């Protein structure tokens, strides 16, 4: 997991240990997304987000400075996209942390 995800042993500003928590909903899910998918699973992720109403996707020739600026301005306001993003963030924040899930794995091995 990247630094924002709180990997074990990761250090934050000033060398302090990062807290282990479910950052996805708290740090990243509060605003709508303008998605500029370029490859791999990004297209599927973009489709999931746009289908849920949490953002807008720009592809290929649609990606211009003006289109990105327009999408960002629309998404940063009090848009329906942002309300969806906040709702999804709240759902993610209620999910158990990866550490809590790992603690339960032995229960499923029986």
* Domains in the chain, CATH or no CATH each: 25-108 (3.40.50.2000)
Give per-residue pLDDT as tens, 61-88. Answer: 999 999 999 999 888 888 889 889 889 8
Q: Is the pLDDT of residue 95 over 90?
A: yes
Local confidence band at 42 (pLDDT 50, 70, 90 cut-offs): very high
Mean of the pLDDT values across residues 31-36?
Answer: 86
Is residue 52 within 8 A of residue 88, CB to CB? The reply is yes
Three-state SS at 105: helix
- Between 70 and 16, the more confident residue is 70
Q: What's the rounded Cα separation, in Å, for the pair 94 and 70?
A: 32
Output the average pLDDT for the chain: 78
Q: What's the rounded Cα separation, in Å, for the pair 31 and 85?
A: 6
């Amino acid at each position: 997991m990247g630094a924002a995800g709180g990997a074990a042993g990761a250090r934050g500003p000033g060398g302090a240990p990062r807290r282990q928590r479910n950052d996805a909903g708290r740090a990243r899910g509060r605003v709508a997304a303008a998605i500029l998918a370029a490859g791999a699973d990004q297209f599927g992720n973009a489709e999931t987000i746009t289908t849920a109403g949490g953002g807008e996707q720009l592809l290929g020739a649609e990606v211009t400075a003006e289109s990105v600026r327009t999408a960002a301005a629309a998404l940063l306001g009090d848009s329906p996209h942002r309300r969806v993003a906040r709702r999804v963030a709240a759902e993610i924040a209620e999910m158990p942390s990866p550490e809590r899930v790992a603690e339960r794995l032995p229960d499923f091995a029986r």
